[in-house]
Structure 1
Amino acid sequence: MKFPSLFAVALASGTALSTCAFAQAQQPILELEGNLAYGVGNGGIGIFMPFLLDNGNGVFFDASGRFVEGSARQASFGMGYRHRVEGGWLLGGYGYLDVFNSEHGNSFNQLSFGVEALGPVYEARANVYLPLGDDKVAASLSHAFVSGSELKFQAGREFARAGADTEVGLRLPIFPESMNAEMKVFGGAYWYDGARGLDDTLGVKARTEVSFSGLPGVSGSTLALGASISYDNEDQTEFGLTARLRVPLGGSSRTGKAAFDPMFQRVERADFIRTYADSDGVTEAAEFVHGGQAVGKVVSISQAMGDATAINAALTTAGTNALVLANGGITLGQALQLGAGQHMVGGGGSIAVRGANSRIEVAFRNGGDAAKLTGTNAAANVVSMASGSEIAGLTITGGLAGIASSGTSNISIRDVDISKTAGDGIRLDNVTGATISGANIHDLYICNSNTNCEFAVGRPNRAPHAAIAALGTSGLTVRDTVIDSVTYGIFAGSRIDQSDWPEVITHAASDIVIDNVKISKSRREGILLVAANDVTMNKVTVDNSEQGLDMDLVVLQGTSNVSITDMTLKGGINGLMLVTASTLPENAVTTNVNVRGLTIDGTRNAGIFLNPVSGISFKDVTITNAGTYGAYIYGSEWDFLGGPVKNIDFGNMRVEGASKAGLYFSGPAENIRGDITVVDTPLNCLADQGAWSGTSLIQTDGSVLKLNGTAIEANKLKTTCK
């Protein structure tokens, strides 16, 4: 049962007792408490329900809930009996059930019993705490470690500790009898069992408390302010401050010093179940989170092993699903061949593993020297990955591609730094399922030759020298990645067979996610998608504003079913270009693109360029300082060239500071909708007036395009936009 439910049950039960069980039920006492120790606060709320018997003795029901700032919480409920004896003394006994939720997310139960002797001047009490249940797993304290040639997983553990405490105190006569206040001082000791190899915890404590009764407007209430100090062999010295308010619900006739009657005093006991947590739980086999396979042999590689041939021989011997620990600088004249299911982590890097039985995930860290792989052969990749393999925590420089994989599935690349390659940073060919995260790819070869390096629809399988090149790859995710000073940023395209006509897609680029990626100073396109399908781009920034030579920033060429959110584009020729080429396969059409949140600034040409596309939706778009137009709408009179630009929705779009016009129309356009605001721009819109262009606007199905709140009449496009 969860903490709130337990507390509610306790309160409900006490209320039922107060109305049914005893004829002399007293007003329930609401208690509010706050504590501060070493800057960490905890507090509580409770209800104390006393019942007086005919002989002057009493029983009580007590329910409370307590919490520690940002972590643990506890519900407690119990019952007790208090017996008056001669000399003004009161003897009592009580029992409690505690339910505790720890900062590690574990729930513990405990029975607690105590006795008390409360007198006019002196008082004493003792409590014992008896936990119920077994050890719990503390996931945050779990870890993995190498034992010989094996990787082991050891779960963290947490358990409740049996204990006892005792306390004696006295009231100091420092306040005059006429004043409704009292001061008490206490001293005591406590012990907690040192089970499971722990030392016993022994401690002493002292506290003082000043109480006042009769707060204005609250009959029978008391306010207590306290300070405490404790010392034990586990937590050393701790100080604390306490404030506690007790209010009889509905008021009380026990006013003045009667409000301090011990029959109605709170029970003093430990606020929380005491638990202990460490990393010494059950040891079990480990498995990789990526791929879910049991961790195989652990092997370390370094320059001391020799050249790439020797290292590859060691990797082959290690076998499938080996954990490869790469340490220090390693020079490679040919590709390091990572085998099936092998996971390589560099010194200082980490890799996700879990317990084969507990299923708890932890990060295993390679404690060796930082690994740097240097490729000395510009015609050879530095690392080649097989199916199910993973790379993490490596610096890679030189070689043809830093990391390459072909015809594989389910690979993972994390936390890598790649630079100075002669080809691509990461090259994926016909891969199914690939994740790239936390990569930093920078300072690659910059190709300025249009002949050699500019993408062309006549050769759609080639966009050379990309930070990430993924051809014919499906299930690709690129996230939390930074790309700087490269030729292309990210190229993802379907593999297209051009050996016959019509051309056909042999390996589709589909299910692509680009999330939280920053690209700067790309000589050519920052993101180029060709004949791709099912694409999600979120929090993508392409900033080429600091360079003179560049191309369009984000290009969707024959790409469909695309979602773009929170994109920022700076510099470049055109910011976002959507285009369909007639030379691509028939099913490679740019359509069904939804843009939600787009900021474009400082392009040399248009902010948005649309070239025979359809089914495009824009919302919350801001285009500033475009070199020509906010948006360029460029349709074709010929269906085989793509036909009109149609079914475009500009929702909440603002164009500011464009050098020529907010919108430019060339060729036929159909069903262009939206409400566009154009400010600080010479013209709201401009239409190509040449007869050869076939510029026209056809609006059906209620389509309306407004510029600064005024609808454009379709049959007056050329006269309105000039």
Structure 2
Amino acid sequence: MHTRSLRRLLILLLLTGMGSLFSSFSYAQDPVPDYQPEWFQEEDYLYRAYFDFTGQAGGVNDNGQGLLFIPLAQDEECLFFADLRGNIFDDSSAEGNFGLAYRRMVNDQWIAGMYGFYDVRRSQYSNIFRQGSFGFELLSIEWDFRVNGYVPSLKQQRVDSLNTAYLSGNNIVMRAGEERAYWGTDFEVGRLLKSFPESNLDAELRGYVGGYYFDNSAPGFKEMTGPRARVEYRMFDLPWLGNGSRVVLAGQYQYDEVRGSQGTGLLTVRIPLPGNGDSQKLSRFQRRMVNPIVRDLDIVLNQTRGPEECARLQLTGQELKDLTFIDGDTANAEAVFSAAGTDSVVLFDGSKGTINTSTGFVFNDGQLALAGGNSVNVVGCNSGAVASFSYGAQPTVNGSLTSIDVFTMADRSSIVGMNITGGENGIYGNNLSGFTINRNTISGADEDGVHLDGDINGTITDNTFTGNGVTGYNDGLEVQNFTGGTISGNVSRNNGYGYYIENEISGGTISNNIAENNLNDGFYITKMSGGSITGNTSKNNGDDGFYFDDVMTGGVFSDNIASNNGEFGFDFDGVNGGTISGNQALDNGYAGFAFYDDINGGTISDNIAERNDVGFYFDDDINGGTITGNIASNNRYDGFYFRDEISGGTFSNNTATENGDDGFDFDDFDGGTISNNIATGNGVNGIAFYGEVSGGTFSGNTATGNQDNGIKFGDTVSGGTISNNLASGNVDDGFDFEDITGGFITGNTATGNQDVGFDFDDIVSGGTISNNIASGNQGYGFDFIAPIQGGTISNNTASSNSKSGYFVNIFGGGNTASFSNNSAIDNALKGYDVRTGTPQSGVGTNTGSGNASDNNY
């Protein structure tokens, strides 16, 4: 906490104290029950509350203190009061002291007092300490005698900035920084040295001598004991501050072996608070009753390092003892590594140059290979404190043959901080569990930087894979079956593939990895049935950002980014389950998201595709699942493109804006739900169906400001429900239909379009067209250019269109149509412009008003 914030806390403390003061005044003036002692019933108050402000400089820490003195009960000879203090120090520490005290005049010459305090301190290391303290005092006009005791909580607090770890023999050990409070006592004797009766000021000079002793029995904490002396020049009842005021100038000196000599200057200003007794001036003896309690300024603290203890690697929890050392001069280093045995720790030091191997290092179970020259976190076995450890130089371990693996892992083995070059694979393993590969740099392997066969469950974090498998299109990291564990924080660049999952991901977490500038795909994943892939970035790769070669059946794929890849951002096969959400495809050469097989289940939600070729591309059938909340904007062609049939599932709340072609491009639609989608400002149609609509529900969708039609049905509508959709402000028609042979077209609205509201370009032979509204369009409200041969057209409204409300070229053929209860209002031409024929039923039920002519039909 900054000093400024501490000052604000002090002010709040003082204001709180004022509130307590005023409430105590109010309480004291209320009637007092008869059973209280006589001195509690006193109505005239001699002793007033006050603030003392003190600044102190020159000691271990400069500080400021605010003291609030609050009489709680009193008479002329007795005083019960509260002493509340707040302290701030220049090292950002702070303390509060909360005390209660009682003083009594023993006779006309002496005052006896006793008090207790509860103290709380936040140290400069943000540790909290508490203590109880008590004291006794004996005061006269000339003399002061006092003794104080301090009893803190002796529990240690950690000081992580003082933690240290180092090599001791062939063990890594540490000492934890700790902070403790000291118990102790102090005393002093004071005497009036001089008064100044000849002066206009009521002033005096006092001197004090005493000593202190503070200690903590914990190892490493030295006692603090020494003398203390102080001189105070006091001025009372100053004219500009009023009766009860005081200014004190003081100098203090103390010495102990821990803190050395400390000379301190102090300035205190007292401001009396308003209340009963404002005009009274205390006698010299009476004002000793309101003298501030003198005690040690703060809870006495000290810091040191604790005893030496064993250390564990924070990453794995392995104890770092009985180390084996390998460097460039180690003879037969591979045999030395193997001989270290199970659960051993081997420290590789690069100080003697490159460590070359022609046979490779083969791990034992539980073995740790720790590289020098890296700072690693270690944890104290006893204290749990964390310190940083580093030794020697980072080694380069080079595989001199392309037929050998540089390191071969085992179960529970760990490799940390190496620079690995060459070899067939930098690191190899088979059917591993409980292993750790952390903070290694692996480059120039003939095949893979890391290659792990079989079922893999372990930790691969914060590694860098560079320039591996380039000639053979191999990988930075290849895992056969990832069943659990963590692959996180790695960077794979300039490899054949960035990350390659050969068979399946069924568990674990793959997160926050980066794949960039790889020749082929950033992430190649054959199949996903579980686990999570989240927060990864794939950019500037030659092919796809993320490629799934087989059907996704489970797991979570979320919050990943694919940008500037040569082909697809995200390239999926089919989806039968799992979740694909929150991903972003930006500026990729082909589609942002591509799905090449059926979607039968799962959830595809809240993804974003911007500035790709096509935003979302669906190559095969949609039979189930949920596609919702996705956004496609500023793509070169369609926002959403469906190449085949939708027969089930839910497609809802998606948005397509400013795409070069259609916002939504559908083929056949015969089942499922397409609802509440928005298409705005696209280069051709907002929403278009180029195949037959024979079933399903299309409702609540909005198309505005598109450069051709708002919503276009380019083939037959033979079934399903088209309802409650809105088309407004489009450059051509609001709704554009071809054949209508069945289905329901109801409750839709076309408004403000630059041509027709509802344009029927081909024969209407069946279905229901009802309760639709066409208003304010530049062409006809409803335009039936081809024959109406059947179906029901009823309860529609055409208003304020720039041409006729309804244009019907012909009711013809074996006409079975019903045209009834429609209305035409305020259209610029005719309400009903029917050129040829009549419907089978409904004539005479259609009404209108305000049209240029033909208000009724």
Question: Which TM class, normalised by the smaller chain length?
Answer: 0.7 to 0.9
Q: Contact between 2:337 and 2:361, CA under 8 Å: does it hold in 1?
A: no
Deviation at 1:274, TM superposition (A): 1.6
| Structure 2 partner of 1:423 | 447
| Conservation of the 8 A alpha-carbon contact between 1:220 and 1:253 | no
Equivalent of 1:344 in 361, 369, 389: 369
CA deviation after TM superposition for structure 1 residue 124, in Å? 6.2
The match for 2:359 among 309, 334, 337 is 334
Provide the C-alpha distance between the structure 2 equivalents of 1:379 and 1:294, rounded to a whole number of angstroms.
Answer: 34
Relative to structure 1, the CA distance from residue 595 to residue 263 in structure 2 (aligned partners, 3 Å threshold; closer, same or farther) is: farther
CA–CA distance in structure 2, aligned partners of residues 135 and 59 of structure 1: 33
Instruction: Determine the structure 2 residue equivalent to 1:498.
Output: none
Moved more, 516-525 or 230-239: 230-239
Distance 1:708 1:180, change over 3 A: farther
Instruction: Tell me the secondary structure at the aligned position of residue 394 of structure 2.
Output: coil
Q: 1:63 to 1:417 in 2, by over 3 A?
A: same
TM superposition shift of 1:659:
2.0
Aligned to 1:319: 341
Task: Give the aligned partner of residue 473 of structure 1.
Answer: 482
Describe the superposition over 1:333-375 as per-residue Cα deviations: whole angstroms up to 9, x where unpaired.
222122211122111224554444x361534624222222122
The 2-side partners of 1:107 and 1:415 are apart by 36
Residue number among 585, 605, 622 corresponding to 1:618 in the alignment:
605
- Is it true that 1:634 corresponds to 2:655 in the alignment? no
| Structure with more contact order per residue of length (Cα contacts < 8 Å, sep ≥ 6) | 1
For residues 210 and 599 of structure 1, the distance between their equivalents in structure 2, rounded to whole angstroms, comes to 74
Taking a change above 3 Å as real, the CA distance of residues 684 and 31 of structure 1, as seen in their structure-2 partners, is farther
Work out whether residues 595 and 617 of structure 1, in 8 Å CA contact, stay in contact via their aligned partners in 2. Answer: yes
Rate the CA distance shift 1:133–1:664 in 2: closer, same or farther, 3 A: closer
Confirm or deny: 8 A CA contact 1:36 1:42 kept in the other structure: yes
Q: Which residue of 2 aligns with 1:384?
A: 408
Partner of 1:436: 460
Contact between 1:526 and 1:553, CA under 8 Å: does it hold in 2?
yes
Letter in 1 for 2:520: R
Task: Please give the alpha-carbon distance, in whole angstroms, between the structure 2 residues aligned to 1:539 and 1:408.
Answer: 25
Shift of 1:146: 4.2
Pairing 1:366-515 to 2, within 5 Å after superposition = 366-447=390-471, 453=473, 465-494=474-503, 508-515=504-511
Q: 2:645 aligns with which of 642, 652, 668?
A: 668
Q: CA deviation at 1:331?
A: 1.4
What is the Cα deviation at residue 646 of structure 1? 5.1
Contact 1:213-1:255 within 8 A present in 2 as well: no
Instruction: Confirm or deny: 8 A CA contact 1:135 1:157 kept in the other structure.
Output: no
Q: What CA distance in whole angstroms lies between the structure 1 residues aligned with 2:525 and 2:88?
A: 53
- Which residue of structure 1 lines up, in the alignment, with residue 520 of structure 2? 524
Q: What does 1:60-459 align with in structure 2 at a 5 Å threshold?
A: 60-63=81-84, 74=95, 76-83=97-104, 92-100=113-121, 102=123, 108-114=129-135, 128-132=148-152, 134=154, 136=156, 138=158, 140=160, 141-152=162-173, 154-163=175-184, 192-193=214-215, 196=219, 199-201=222-224, 234=258, 251=275, 253-254=277-278, 261-281=287-307, 283-289=308-314, 292=317, 294-295=319-320, 297-306=322-331, 310-328=332-350, 329-356=354-381, 358=382, 360-363=384-387, 365-447=389-471, 453=473
Deviation at 1:647, TM superposition (A): 2.6
Distance 2:315 2:91 in 1: 32
1:409 CA drift (Å)? 0.8
TM-superposed CA distance for 1:90, in Å, is 5.9
The AA in structure 1 aligned to 2:591 is A
Partner Cα separation in structure 2 for residue 244 and residue 556 of structure 1: 76
Equivalent in the alignment of 2:745 = none
Counterpart of 1:136, as a letter, is Q
Q: Partner letter of residue 441 of structure 2?
A: D
Q: How does 1:636-651 map to 2 (within 5 A)?
A: 636=621, 644=623, 647-651=626-630
The residue number in structure 2 matching 1:499 is none
Q: State the superposition RMSD in angstroms.
A: 5.1
Q: Does 1:57 align with 2:57?
A: no
Shifted more, 224-233 versus 128-137: the winner is 224-233
Partner of 1:571: 564
Change (3 A) 1:562 1:221: farther
| AA matched with 1:625 | R
Q: 1:363-412: per-residue Cα shift (whole Å, max 9, x none)?
A: 46242222221221222121222111222222222222222221121111
Per-residue deviation, residues 512-569 of structure 1 (Å, max 9, x unmatched) = 323333332122211222212334344322221xxxx711112244334444554333
Stretch of structure 1 that moved more, 26-35 or 57-66: 26-35
5+ unaligned residues in a row in structure 1: which ranges? 454-464, 495-507, 582-588, 637-642, 689-694
Distance in 1 (CA, whole Å) between partners of 2:469 and 2:497 is 10
Q: Secondary structure at the match of 1:525?
A: coil
Q: Distance in 2 between matches of 1:348 and 1:158?
A: 31
SS at 2:653 equivalent: strand
Supply the distance in 1 between the matched residues of 2:642 and 2:264 (Cα, whole angstroms). Answer: 74
In structure 1, C-alpha distance between the alignment counterparts of 2:122 and 2:169, rounded to whole Å: 38
Q: Aligned equivalents of 1:207 and 1:481: distance in 2?
A: 66
**Deviation string, structure 1 residues 427-464 (Cα, Å, up to 9, x no partner):** 222344321222222233424xxxx64xxxxxxxxxxx
Give yes or no for contact 1:296–1:321 (8 Å, CA) kept in 2: no
Secondary structure at the aligned position of 1:533 is classed as coil
Contact 1:162 1:192 in 2 (8 A): yes
In structure 2, runs of 5+ residues without a counterpart are 1-8, 29-35, 694-710, 715-734, 738-857
Q: Helix, strand or coil for the counterpart of 2:339?
A: helix
What does residue 459 of structure 1 align with? none
* 2:578 corresponds to 1:592: yes
One-letter amino acid matched to 2:663: C
Partner residue in 1 for 2:32: none
- Tell whether the 8 Å contact from 2:558 to 2:579 is kept in structure 1 after alignment: no
Change (3 A) 1:116 1:519: farther
How far apart are residue 667 of structure 1 and its match?
1.1
Conserved 8 A contact 1:170-1:186: no
Q: Give me the whole-angstrom Cα distance separating, in 1, the residues matched to 2:231 and 2:645.
A: 86
Distance 1:634 1:616 in 2: 17
Q: Which residue identity does 1:696 align to in structure 2?
A: D
* Alignment-mate amino acid for residue 604 of structure 2: S
| Equivalent-residue separation in structure 2 for 1:211 and 1:595 (angstroms) | 75
Indicate if the aligned counterparts of 2:135 and 2:146 stay in contact, CA closer than 8 A: yes
Shift of residue 315, structure 1, vs aligned partner = 2.9
> SS of the residue aligned with 1:377?
coil
Pick closer, same or farther for the CA change 1:261–1:677 going to 2, 3 Å.
farther
Aligned to 2:660: 682
Matched residues in 1 for 2:469 and 2:507: separation?
A: 29
TM-score for both structures, normalised by structure 1: 0.73
Q: Deviations over 1:19-73 (max 9, x none)?
A: 7784458777688989999999988787644245444232333355667799866
Deviation at 1:327, TM superposition (A): 0.5
Q: Is the 8 A contact 2:316 2:436 kept in 1?
A: no
Q: Deviations over 1:452-502 (max 9, x none)?
A: 64xxxxxxxxxxx222212112223122333322222222343xxxxxxxx
Counterpart in the other structure of 2:594:
609
Distance 1:28 1:590, change over 3 A: farther
> Once the 2 structures are TM-superposed, how far is the Cα of residue 422 of structure 1 from its aligned partner?
1.6
- CA separation of 1:439/1:208 partners in 2, compared to 1, >3 Å: closer, same or farther? farther
Other-structure match for 1:659: 636
| Alpha-carbon separation, structure 2, partners of 1:444 and 1:191 | 67
Which amino acid counterpart does residue 319 of structure 1 have in structure 2? Answer: G
Q: Distance in 1 between matches of 2:669 and 2:147?
A: 87
Tell me what 2:544 maps to: 552
- Cα distance in 2 between the residues matched to 1:181 and 1:478: 76
- Aligned twin of 1:585: none
Using the alignment, how far apart are the partners of 2:577 and 2:167 within structure 1? 52
Letter in 2 for 1:381: D
Which residue in 2 is equivalent to 1:503? none
Q: Is the Cα contact below 8 Å between 1:552 and 1:572 reproduced in 2? A: yes
